[in-house]
Amino acid sequence: LKVAVLISGRGSNLQSLIDACATPGFPAEIVLVLSNKADAYGLVRAQEAGIATKAISHKAYPDRESFDAALHDEIVAAGAQLVCLAGFMRLLTPGFVAKWHDRMINIHPSLLPAFKGLHSHERAIAAGCRFTGCTVHFVRAEMDDGPIIAQAAVPILPGDSADDLSARVLMAEHRCYPLALRLVAEGKAMVDGEIVRIADSAA
């Protein structure tokens, strides 16, 4: 399966996908890494892996619709069949999301549907949660919403700062995203009434 990855920054989740795709027999290939920020470190990671990159600044477009149309055109031109959001910090328009319905996935650093949006680690600590984690899900128009493909739970330890917790969750993210991509690429994560059913691996 040909995949485009959209990023805005560091790209450590992108790196986990690059590494997974480089393992023998992995069912996906990254054909394009797109960033809305030209200085995103993830673009360097992609270049070092020999993957095509493109920076498209949202500031060069008058509105979200025209920016998203430019993104869509690049993704289609690259031949991508699936979009992976990996720390992409722009809200996508309902029109763009509709074009990639069940063909776009995102990773979020909480156990959704808890703690959508920014600062999820601070909020999980402030709420006194004993566990948080990460979620990979199909993207719907509402932020951090959509059918859940994979999750990993991570303990919140006494005295954890948001940075401590973020580092612990990030390690789980780097396992979860490649796992979810594999399931989707193998056609084993099927959306059924806004719930994902995971096909039997023996089937």
Strand partners, 190: 197
The Cα–Cα gap between 84 and 177 comes to: 9
Pick the binder of ligand GRF from 3, 5, 9, 112 (CB under 6 A).
Answer: 9
Sequence-distant (6+) residues with CB within 8 A of 185 are 1, 3, 26, 27, 28, 82
Pick the binder of ligand GRF from 3, 6, 13, 96 (CB under 6 A).
Answer: 13
Of residues 69 through 88, those in contact with ligand GRF by CB under 6 A are: 86-87
Pick the binder of ligand GRF from 6, 21, 80, 173 (CB under 6 A).
Answer: 173
Pick the binder of ligand GRF from 3, 109, 140, 154 (CB under 6 A).
Answer: 109
Per CB under 6 A, does 181 bind ligand GRF?
no
Is 17:178 a contact under the CB 8 Å cutoff?
yes
* 11 assigned to a ligand binding site: yes
Catalytic residue status for 108: yes
Selection from 179, 200, 199, 201 nearest residue 190 by Cα: 199
Give me the catalytic one of 101, 108, 137, 174: 108
Contact stretch for ligand GRF (CB under 6 A) within 60-68, 101-109, 125-133, 181-189? 101-109
CB of residue 109 to ligand GRF, shortest distance in Å: 4
Per CB under 6 A, does 110 bind ligand GRF?
no
Per CB under 6 A, does 68 bind ligand GRF?
no
**CB-nearest residue to ligand GRF:** 87
CA separation, residue 109 to residues 30, 48, 134, 156 (Å): 22, 26, 4, 13
* 103 assigned to a ligand binding site: no
Q: What is the DSSP letter of 190?
A: E
Q: How many CB atoms lie within 10 A of CB 201?
A: 8
Half-sphere exposure (CA, 13 Å, Cβ side) for 182? 18
Per CB under 6 A, does 37 bind ligand GRF?
no
Nearer to ligand GRF, 121 or 182 (CB): 121
Per CB under 6 A, does 178 bind ligand GRF?
no
The Cα–Cα gap between 123 and 132 comes to: 10
CA 124 to chain centre: 20
- Contacts with ligand GRF, residue ranges (CB under 6 A): 9-14, 86-87, 107-109, 170, 173
What positions carry a catalytic annotation?
Answer: 108
- Annotated binding residues, written as ranges, equal 11-13, 64, 89-92, 106
